[in-house]
Structure 1
Amino acid sequence: FMQLASHNAMWQSRKGAAFGFSSIIAQAEEELKPYLKDLIPRLYRFQYDPNPRVNEAMTSIWKSLVKEPKKIMEEYFETIVKDLLKSLGDRLWKTREASANALTDLLQGRSIQELEPFLQDLWNMCFRALDDIKESVRIAAFKTCRTLTKVTVKYCNPENVSVVDGQKFMKVVIPFLLTKGLLSDAEDVRKFSLRTILEICKTSKGLLKPHIAELVSTLLEGLSSMEPQVMNYLSFHVEKYEVTQEQLESTRLSAAKMSPMMEGIESCVDYIDTGVMEELTPKLLQLIRKGLGLPTKAGCARFLVTMTLKQATTLRPFADNIMKALSGSILDNSSAVRKSYAVAAGYVAHLSTDSTLIRFIGHLKKIYCDNSEQDIRSIAGITVLEISRHASDEMKRIYVEILPFAYYGMHDSDDGIKNVWTEVWDENTAGSTGAIKLYLKELIDLLSKLMESPSWLTKRQAAETIADVAKTIEQSLLPYMKLVLPLLINGLSGRTWVGKEALVQALATSSIYCKEYFDQGDSQVKLNEVSNVLIRESKKTNKQYKRNCLDNLGLFADAYNNRLDIYTEVKDFLIELAIGEQNPDEMDEDDANEQPLFLLVKASAMKCLGLVWSKNREVQLHHSKELGTILAESLGSGKNIWNVRLGVLASLEKFIEKLDFTDDKELVLDEETLIKIFGGLKEGLMDAKYSVVRTASLNSLKKITEKINDTKLMSSGKVRQGLLDTLSIAEKDPVPGISELVKEIRKSI
C-alpha cells in the first residue's frame, strides 16, 4: 500500500481508495498493529505531501488509523523524527518538501527531552534543505528553520529550562551553529545561524559562559567574513565612485559597530569571568595581531573598550598582554583601524601595570622617531592622547616619560601631528611653563639624544624645541647651556641640509635669552665661538638657509652689541649681498622661487647691516659715511622693490639708534651723508603704491630727528632745511596717521 502511495497516478480516485482503506482499517485493527512502526512515520509525512490529492487522502487514512493522536505521537515520536530526517535527504523533491513541512508541525510544543537527542541532526538536515536546488523545498525548509530557531532559543533560556538541560542543549547547538552554520557556503544558512546565535546570546544569560570564548572569537571574525561584498569591492574602486578611502573606512567602521554581531558580542560581556578570559585571551590576542578585515579589527577594539568599562576587574590580569598585542596593531595599514586600536589602548592602559605602560610609551616614542611617514608617526600622539583621556591617573605616575616627549612633539612640522601633541601637553599641564621647568632635565636629556640622530627631520625638530624652551623659560635654561651650545655648534658643522636653519635659530635664541651664561669663565671666548659659527653659516650658498642665518646673526649681534663688535668683520660680505645684483648665469630659470629668494636674501642682508652696526665710536667715525650712503642710495624706488626697501628702513633705524653723538667736537655722521639719507627718505615718502613704505620712512625720519635734536647737526641750515623739505612731502599724504605723525615731529624740532 505504501509503495502505491508514492505514485500519484494511483490516486486519481483517491476518495474511493481512502474509503476502502478506512474500511479495511476498521475491520483489521489488531492485524495492523505489527506494521504501525513502519506505517505511522510514512503516513504522518504523506499528510504534508505537496500534492493536495495525496495529503487529503492520507489525512483521511491517518484519522481512521489514529484514534488517539497525542498518544500515538508520543509513542512513535522517535520513529517519526528519524524517518523525516532521512527523508529530508531523499532524491525525490516532493519527499524532501513533505518532510520539511512535517517537521515544522512536529517540532512545535515538544519537550527538551524529546528534541535533545536529535538537535544536531535536525539543524544539519534543515540547513541542507535550506540550500536545496528546488525552490519550494527551500521555502518549506525556511519555515522549518524558523520554528527550529524558536524552539532552540526557548530551550537555551534558563527561565524555561533547568541549568542542566539548558547546558545540554547549548553544548550541541552552539558548536554546530558556529562551525557548520556560520561557515556554510550558503548565504541563507549563514543568516539563519547568525540570527539564532544572536537570539541565544540575548536570552541564555549564564548558560553562555562555557561557550563565550568560542562565541566572541567567531563573531569577531564573522564581522569581516559576513560583511557585504560590496564593501570589499568599493575598497578597491574608491576613485571610480568618487569616495575617499577614509570615507569608506569610516562607513565600514560605523557598520561594524552597529552590526547585530557586535550586539551579540557585547551581550556576552556581562557573563565573562576570569575563567572565560583565560580561554578567550589567546584567541583575542591572535585576532588583534593577525585578524583579517577592518570590521574584525574594529570589533576587537570595541570589545576591549566595552570590557574595560564593564568588566575592569576581570580584564585587569590580562591587560599587560593585551597592551603588548596592541603595540603592534596600532601600526595597521588602515588609519581607521589605527585610531580604533589607539582608543582601545587608552582604555586598557587604565588596567595595565606601570612597567608595561612605560614600555608601551617607549614603543610609541620609537614609532614617532623612526618613521618618516606622517600617517604612521601621527598614531603615537593619538595613542598618548587617548591614554591621557582614559587613564589619566596612570599617566600622572609616568609624566616624566611622557611630558618631555609631548613638548618635543609640539614642534612637529605637520600641523595635524603638532596639534595632537599640543593637546596632550595642554590637557596635562594646563599649558603652564612650570611643567617645562619641572621636567627640564629630562627634556634636555631627550633633546640631546635626538640631536645626535642621523635624521634631519629629528634634528630640526629638536632644535626648534630648544629655541622654544629658551624663549619660554629664558634664564631657567642657564644650567644646561654648557650642554646645549656644544650640541648645536657640533650639529651645524658640515654641509647644508633641509631644516638646518632650525639649529641656527636655536643657537642664536638660546644665546640671546641666556646672557648670564656668557658672564661666566671665558665668556668672550664662548661669545666669539657662537659669533664665528653664525658668520660661517651666513656665508653658505643656499639662499633659503643664508636668509635665516643672516636674520639670526643680526639678532645675536644686536643683543650683544656692547660686548661684541663684528661689523668690520662682516661688512664686506653683507654689503655685497645687500647691493649686489644677481648674475643671470647663476640663475635657475626653471625655479620659480629663484628671484624671490634672491630678493629676500638682499632684504635680510640690509637688515643685518643695521643690527651688526657697531656702537664703537671709532668704528662709527670710519664707517658711518659708507653705510649711511649705502642705505640712502638703496631707498630709491628704482633701486629696490618695496620689501627690500623696508629692510633698508629697518636697518637705517638701527644705524641711527646706535650712533654715538656724545662728543660734539667730532661727529660720527657728517652733514653730507645725512642729507643723502633725507633724499632717500623723500623717495620713500613719495611711494604712491605702498603706504607701509611711507609709514616706515616717516618713522625713520622721526628717529633721526630725535637723535640729532640736541646735536650741532640740527644747527646746520642744510640739515634743517633737508629735514623740513622731507616733512613737507609727508604732510600731503592722504593717510591720516602719517599726517598726524608729521605734526608730532614738527613740534619736537
Structure 2
Amino acid sequence: AKGAGVAIRPHLADLVTCMLESLSSLEDQGLNYVELHAANVGIQKEKLENLRISIAKGSPMWETLELCIEVVDNQSLDILVPRLAQLVRSGIGLNTRVGVASFVTLLVQRVNLEIKPFTGMLLKLLLPAIIQEKSGHAKRAFASACAIVLKYSTPSQAQKLVDDVAALHAGDRNAQVSCAVLLKSCASLAADVMSGYYATLIPVIFISRFEDEKYVSGLFEELWEENTSGDIVTLQLYLEEIVSLATESLTSSSWASKRKAALAITKLSETLRESLSTYSQVLLNSLLKEIPGRLWEGKDALLTALAALCVSCHKAICSHEPSAPNAILGVITSACTKKEKKFRESALCALEQVIKAFNSPEFFNAAFPLLYEMFNPTTAGTKSEQEPSGSGSVKSDSGEEAENYVPRSKILDCTTSCVDVASVGDLLQQKQNLLSLLSHALSPSFPWTVKVSAFLSIKKLCSKLKATAVNLGDDASHAGLTALVHELFLAVSPKVVDCIQTVKIAQVHVAAAECLVQLIELYGQFQPAPALGQGFKHDIAQLYETEKNEQAKSLLKNCVAILGNL
C-alpha cells in the first residue's frame, strides 16, 4: 500500500472491506474467550473492549487502512461508499463495527465536501446502527461517524436526522443513551450544524436531565452544561419550546415521561420564577388535568411541580383567572385524602406551599377542617399511623401500615400555614377544633418530630393573635379573642412544660421554651381572668434551674421574668 499509491484505487473497495472484516476474524480468539468470562473474574467489559479496540488499531492492518484513505478520489468513492454502507448494515464483530465507523469518520475528514452525494444514504444507515449497537465503544464510534457526515448533509437531511434523534428521548433506556451519545458527538464534530437546531434539541436535553436512570440523566446533564451559557439565559431563550415539550410529555402514556416533565416544570418554576408567568396558565391547566385519577409511581412529582408553579407565578395565576386558586386548592386537598404514603406526603407539602403562596383567608376554612379530620384521634389513633421519631416516615411502603400512615408533622406544617392566612373570625369559629388538634399533637404517644411541628403551629397562632389584638375595635371581638387566649394557654402550656420534662432532646427543649415565651407573652398581653396560679410559675422556675441547654435556659429565664410581672 505504501509503494503502490494511486495504483490501488481500482481495488480500494475490495481491499478496505476485506481488511475491516479481518479486524474481527483475525483477532486472537483468546480475547473472545476472556470477554465471555470477564464478569466471572472481575474484569470490566468496557475496559476489555477498549483493550481489544486498541490492539486492533495498533495493528499493521489498521495502518494499511489509513494508507488507503490517502489515495481515495471521487471515482473510487462511488464504489467504496456503498461497500462501506453494506458493512455498516451487516458487519459482525466488535473490531469490525468500530473499524468501519472509524474508517467512515476518517474518510469524511479526508474528502470533506466530496462526501455530499452520499450523506443521505450514510445518515439513514448510521442512526439505526447507533440505536441497535449494544457496545458502548461501537455506539460512540458510529455516533462520531454520523456527526461528521451530518456536517456535510443538506438542510433537509439534517432536519430529518434532528427530528429522529429528538424523538429518541421518549424511548427506552437504550434509545435515550443513543440520543445523548449522538448529540454529544454532534456538539463536538458538527457544532455549526447543531446550533441551527437548538430550538428542537435544547428542550429535549433540558427535560432529559430529569430521567430516573442516573447514567442517562448524567449524560444529558453534561450536554446541558457543555452547550448552554447558564440556566436562566438558556431557559428564557427557548422557553416556548421547552413548555411545549413539557406539556406534550405530561399527556404521554408513559409514567416516566410524565414524571420527568413534572420535574422539568419544577426546575423551570424555581429558576425563572415570575419570568415564567407568560406560560403559567398553559402549565397550570396541564398539571390540573393530570393530577386527578389513578395513582402511578412517581405521580407525586406532579404535585411538587404544581406547588412550585404556584409559588413562582401566583400573581399571574390570580390575575388571569380569579377562581384558579380555589380550583388548585380543591385538587390538592383531594390528593391529601389518598392512601398512598409518598403521594399523600407530597400533597401535604404542596398544600403548605400553595396556602403560603396565595395568602388567601378563604383557604383556612377550605383546608383546616380536612387537616383536623386527618389528625383527629377518633380517626387517626391506631398504632400503624404513628410517625417514627427522627425521620418522620414509615419504614414500609406496603400493606396496611403504609395505607393507614398519617404524616402528622406535615399536617401540622399545613396547619401553621392555615393559621397564618386565617382571619380572626375564622380562628374563633374553629377554636375548639384548633385547640383540640394542638393539644393532641403534644400527646406523649407522638414522637418529638411531631411535637416540634406543633410548637411551630402554636408560635404562629400566638404571633397571629398578638398582631390581631392591636387592631381590634369592638368589645365583642376582644372578648372572644381573650377567651381563645385563655383556653389556648390552659390547653397547651402544661403539655409544653411536660415535653421539656420528659423529652431529653436539646432541639425539643429550645423549641418548647420558645413556645412558652410566646404563650406567656400573649397571656400577659390579654391578662384574662383568672390570674395564673403559683403552681405553673413554680414549674417554670424549676425547669429553669434544671435546664442544661444554654439556649433553652436563656429562654426559660425570660419566661420566669415575664411571669414575675404578671
Q: Pairwise mapping of residues 2-13 of structure 1 onto structure 2 (< 5 A)?
A: none
Answer yes or no: is 1:605 the counterpart of 2:435: no
The answer to whether the 8 A contact 1:358-1:401 is kept is no
Answer yes or no: is 1:623 the counterpart of 2:430: yes
Which among 170, 179, 201 is matched to residue 369 of structure 1? 170
The answer to whether the 8 A contact 1:534-1:549 is kept is yes
Indicate the structure whose relative CO is greater, using CA pairs within 8 Å and at least 6 residues apart: 2
Secondary structure at the aligned position of 1:497 is classed as coil
State the shift of 1:563 in Å: 4.8
Q: Pairwise mapping of residues 181-260 of structure 1 onto structure 2 (< 5 A)?
A: 201-260=1-60
Which among 86, 93, 102 is matched to residue 302 of structure 1? 102
Which among 393, 396, 413 is matched to residue 592 of structure 1? 396
Unaligned runs of 5+ in 2: 386-393, 473-477
342-351 or 442-451: bigger deviation:
342-351
2:339 is matched with which residue?
541
CA distance in 2, matches of 1:261, 1:687: 81
CA distance in 2, matches of 1:740, 1:266: 81
With over 3 angstroms needed to count, the CA separation of the structure-2 counterparts of 1:551 and 1:213, relative to structure 1, is: same
With over 3 angstroms needed to count, the CA separation of the structure-2 counterparts of 1:674 and 1:445, relative to structure 1, is: same
Answer yes or no: is 1:441 the counterpart of 2:256: no
Answer yes or no: is 1:502 the counterpart of 2:301: yes
Answer yes or no: is 1:450 the counterpart of 2:249: yes
Give the partner amino acid of 1:581. G
2:495 is matched with which residue?
680
CA distance in 2, matches of 1:697, 1:264: 81
The answer to whether the 8 A contact 1:671-1:719 is kept is no
Answer yes or no: is 1:527 the counterpart of 2:331: no
2:280 is matched with which residue?
481
With over 3 angstroms needed to count, the CA separation of the structure-2 counterparts of 1:541 and 1:620, relative to structure 1, is: same
CA distance in 2, matches of 1:310, 1:746: 88
With over 3 angstroms needed to count, the CA separation of the structure-2 counterparts of 1:492 and 1:240, relative to structure 1, is: same
The answer to whether the 8 A contact 2:268-2:276 is kept is yes
Q: Pairwise mapping of residues 12-51 of structure 1 onto structure 2 (< 5 A)?
A: none
Secondary structure at the aligned position of 1:520 is classed as helix
Q: Pairwise mapping of residues 104-115 of structure 1 onto structure 2 (< 5 A)?
A: none
CA distance in 1, matches of 2:561, 2:67: 85
The answer to whether the 8 A contact 2:310-2:357 is kept is no
Answer yes or no: is 1:641 the counterpart of 2:456: no
Which among 332, 335, 347 is matched to residue 136 of structure 2? 335
The answer to whether the 8 A contact 1:635-1:684 is kept is yes
Give the partner amino acid of 1:680. K
The answer to whether the 8 A contact 1:349-1:391 is kept is yes
The answer to whether the 8 A contact 2:364-2:422 is kept is no
Give the partner amino acid of 1:602. R
With over 3 angstroms needed to count, the CA separation of the structure-2 counterparts of 1:521 and 1:319, relative to structure 1, is: closer
With over 3 angstroms needed to count, the CA separation of the structure-2 counterparts of 1:563 and 1:576, relative to structure 1, is: closer
With over 3 angstroms needed to count, the CA separation of the structure-2 counterparts of 1:327 and 1:738, relative to structure 1, is: farther
331-340 or 454-463: bigger deviation:
331-340
State the shift of 1:537 in Å: 1.4
State the shift of 1:296 in Å: 0.9
2:363 is matched with which residue?
565
2:381 is matched with which residue?
581
Q: State the structure with more CA Rg.
A: 1
State the shift of 1:694 in Å: 3.3
CA distance in 1, matches of 2:185, 2:218: 14
The answer to whether the 8 A contact 1:578-1:603 is kept is no
Q: C-alpha offsets along residues 442-464 of structure 1, whole Å, 9 cap, x if unaligned?
A: 11111222122111111111112
Task: Give the alignment's TM-score, normalised by structure 2.
Answer: 0.85
Answer yes or no: is 1:396 the counterpart of 2:195: yes
Q: Pairwise mapping of residues 344-359 of structure 1 onto structure 2 (< 5 A)?
A: 344-359=145-160
Which among 206, 217, 241 is matched to residue 407 of structure 1? 206
CA distance in 1, matches of 2:538, 2:103: 82
CA distance in 2, matches of 1:743, 1:591: 40
CA distance in 2, matches of 1:203, 1:746: 103
State the shift of 1:616 in Å: 1.2
Secondary structure at the aligned position of 1:330 is classed as helix
The answer to whether the 8 A contact 1:625-1:670 is kept is no
Q: C-alpha offsets along residues 34-55 of structure 1, whole Å, 9 cap, x if unaligned?
A: xxxxxxxxxxxxxxxxxxxxxx
Give the partner amino acid of 1:329. A
CA distance in 2, matches of 1:417, 1:678: 54
Answer yes or no: is 1:671 the counterpart of 2:486: yes
State the shift of 1:654 in Å: 3.9
With over 3 angstroms needed to count, the CA separation of the structure-2 counterparts of 1:266 and 1:439, relative to structure 1, is: same
Q: How many residues align?
A: 541
735-744 or 223-232: bigger deviation:
735-744
1:467 is matched with which residue?
266
CA distance in 2, matches of 1:611, 1:690: 26
CA distance in 1, matches of 2:106, 2:560: 77
Answer yes or no: is 1:322 the counterpart of 2:119: no
1:711 is matched with which residue?
525
CA distance in 2, matches of 1:343, 1:728: 77
2:223 is matched with which residue?
424
Answer yes or no: is 1:384 the counterpart of 2:183: yes
State the shift of 1:640 in Å: 1.2
The answer to whether the 8 A contact 1:257-1:302 is kept is no
Secondary structure at the aligned position of 2:481 is classed as coil
The answer to whether the 8 A contact 1:609-1:651 is kept is yes
State the shift of 1:369 in Å: 0.3
319-328 or 559-568: bigger deviation:
559-568
CA distance in 2, matches of 1:597, 1:403: 41
With over 3 angstroms needed to count, the CA separation of the structure-2 counterparts of 1:204 and 1:495, relative to structure 1, is: same
Task: Give the alignment's TM-score, normalised by structure 1.
Answer: 0.65
State the shift of 1:718 in Å: 2.5
With over 3 angstroms needed to count, the CA separation of the structure-2 counterparts of 1:738 and 1:396, relative to structure 1, is: farther
Give the partner amino acid of 1:259. S
Secondary structure at the aligned position of 1:640 is classed as coil
CA distance in 1, matches of 2:122, 2:455: 64
Give the partner amino acid of 1:432. D
Q: C-alpha offsets along residues 115-134 of structure 1, whole Å, 9 cap, x if unaligned?
A: xxxxxxxxxxxxxxxxxxxx
With over 3 angstroms needed to count, the CA separation of the structure-2 counterparts of 1:670 and 1:744, relative to structure 1, is: closer
Q: What is the aligned-residue identity percentage?
A: 24
CA distance in 2, matches of 1:720, 1:323: 89
Give the partner amino acid of 1:536. S
Unaligned runs of 5+ in 1: 1-200
With over 3 angstroms needed to count, the CA separation of the structure-2 counterparts of 1:596 and 1:736, relative to structure 1, is: farther
1:261 is matched with which residue?
61
State the shift of 1:399 in Å: 1.0
Which among 505, 512, 536 is matched to residue 690 of structure 1? 505
With over 3 angstroms needed to count, the CA separation of the structure-2 counterparts of 1:317 and 1:563, relative to structure 1, is: farther
